[in-house]
Amino acid sequence: MINKSKIIIATLRFLSWFPLPVIHGLGGVIGLLLYLVPNGLKRIAVINLALCFPELSEQERKKLLRQSLAESVKTVLEMGAMWFWSIEKLTKLNKGIVGFEIWQEAYQQGNGVIALTPHIGQWEYLGLFSQKYAPMTSLYRPPKLADLNDFLVAVRKRTGNTLVPTTSFGVKSLYGSLRKGHMAGILPDQDPGASGVFAPFFSIQTNTMSLVSKLAERTYAPIIIAYAERLSWGQGYVTHIHLLDNKDIINPDPIVAATALNDAIAMCIREIPSQYQWIYKRFKKRPNGENKIY
């Protein structure tokens, strides 16, 4: 029987042998092929971009589509570097943190910090280096392949971060981390399943997590949202940090709170729309009575 986990790990190890400029060039070529040839990823991205950017002309959306497909491929191909390069080598790719003082002020309050990292740019890079500034417990969704899960946990924890699954145990661990004054890391733009509420995201009703609001309400922890912008041709990454208004996100109305969270994610996406993961079926789950989107 073919061991899919071993194949994935071996492929990423092979990709790690190449410098980032080569990886980015390859990503550009594959992204162009995805743009030119009909395929499922392109279809999803076309739908998402049409829904989220109706104000753009057809030509503007085509340009954004071409760019975003290339960036999505680069994100995947870069995983070889993220998971196999030494921390010293990866550290050299840090080209600055815009808003670092925002994080410092939030952390010094002593209530911990809720760190949101949407699927923009290279989110794996943020996870690897957060421990440099403060202890962090990160929530993650385990892959279906058990061997791959063990590998992912090992490489993501090598800088000292704590990873916990999206279970009741994982959520309790986030609360514990914040009560210690540490950080809690969350990917806020995934479908939360039955625990979510529908709220506007780019004006589309979207199943949205309520966990962030509950964490902030119970711990008084400030919330930041951050992403690592990919610089062209392997030059490195620039981290961008924003502080969110807790008053909106802890609103007792769950829809108001979820809308505030989605607005924050959309704000970051609009800053660098080509590097968002538009190939993800973000609007797959629909409110009762609505037709499927994909």
Q: pLDDT tens, 61-77?
A: 999 999 999 999 999 99
Report how far residue 79's alpha carbon sits from residue 15's, in angstroms, rounded to the nearest whole number.
8
Percent of the chain's residues with pLDDT above 90: 78
pLDDT: is 93 or 133 the higher one?
93
Instruction: Specify the pLDDT at position 1.
Output: 61
Beta bridge partners of 166: none
Residue 254 pLDDT greater than 80, yes or no: yes
Burial of 116 (0-12, 13-18, 19+ CB in 10 A): buried
Q: Which candidate, 237, 226, 280, places its Cα nearest to that of 52?
A: 280
In terms of pTM, does the model score above 0.85?
yes
Q: Mean pLDDT over residues 69-90, rounded? A: 95
Section 91-106 average pLDDT = 93
Give the whole-angstrom CA distance, residue 205 versus residue 197. 9
Tens of pLDDT, residues 109-133: 999 999 999 999 999 998 887 777 7
User: In sequence order, which residues have a C-beta less than 8 Å from that of residue 172 and are 6 or more positions away?
Assistant: none
Helices (H), the chain: 4-15, 20-36, 40-52, 58-77, 79-84, 87-91, 100-107, 123-129, 146-156, 168-179, 211-219, 246-249, 254-271
Task: Provide the residue ranges of all domains of the chain, joining segments of one domain with +.
Answer: 87-275
* pLDDT > 90? residue 260: yes
Helices (H), ranges, 92-231: 100-107, 123-129, 146-156, 168-179, 211-219
Q: Is the pLDDT at 16 greater than 70, yes or no? A: yes
Going from the C-alpha of 3 to that of each of 12, 145, 148, the distances in angstroms are 15, 9, 10
